[in-house]
Structure 1
Amino acid sequence: MFDNLSERLERSFKILKGEGKITEINVAETLKDVRKALLDADVNYKVAKNFTDTVKEKALGQNVLTAVKPSQLMVKIVHDELTQLMGGETAEININARPAVILMSGLQGSGKTTFSGKLARMLKTKKNRKPLLVACDVYRPAAIEQLRVLAEQIEVPMYCELDSKNPVEIAQHAIQEAKAKGYDLVIVDTAGRLAVDEQMMNEIAAIKEAINPNEILFVVDSMTGQDAVNTAKEFNERLDFNGVVLTKLDGDTRGGAALSIRSVVNKPIKFVGTGEKLEAIDQFHPARMADRILGMGDIVSLVERAQEQYDEEEAKRLQKKIAKNQFDFNDFLSQIAQIKKMGNLKDLASMIPGVGKAIKDIEIDDNAFKSIEAIIYSMTPAERSNPEILNGSRRTRIAKGSGTTIQEVNRLLKQFDQTRKMMKMVTSSKMGKMMPKMKR
Structure 2
Amino acid sequence: MTAADTRLDRRMEQLHVWGPYGLLGVSAVLAAVSAELIDGPVEWRAAGALVAAALALQLWWHGTRSRRENRGRTPSGAGTAYYVVRWVIAFLLTWINPFFAFYAATGFMDADELIPGMWRRLGLFASAVTVAAAQAGGLLFDSGVQWAAFGGLLFVNFGLQVLVAHITEQTEQRSRDRAVTITELERTNTALQQALDENAALHAQLVHQAREAGVADERRRLAAEIHDTIAQGLTGIIAQLQVVTNTPDRTQAGEYIDRAMKLARHSLGEARRSVQNLAPVALENDGLPEALTKTVADWAERTGARAEFTVTGPAEQLHAELSATLLRIAQEALSNTSRHAHASRAGVTLTFLGDEVILDIRDDGKGFDPLAVRERTGTGGFGLDGMRARAERVAGTLTVESEPGHGTAVSARVPLVPLPRP
Given the two structures, how large is their TM-score scaled by the length of structure 1?
0.18
The higher-RCO structure (CA 8 Å, 6+ apart) is 1
Q: Which of the pair is proportionally richer in helix?
A: 2
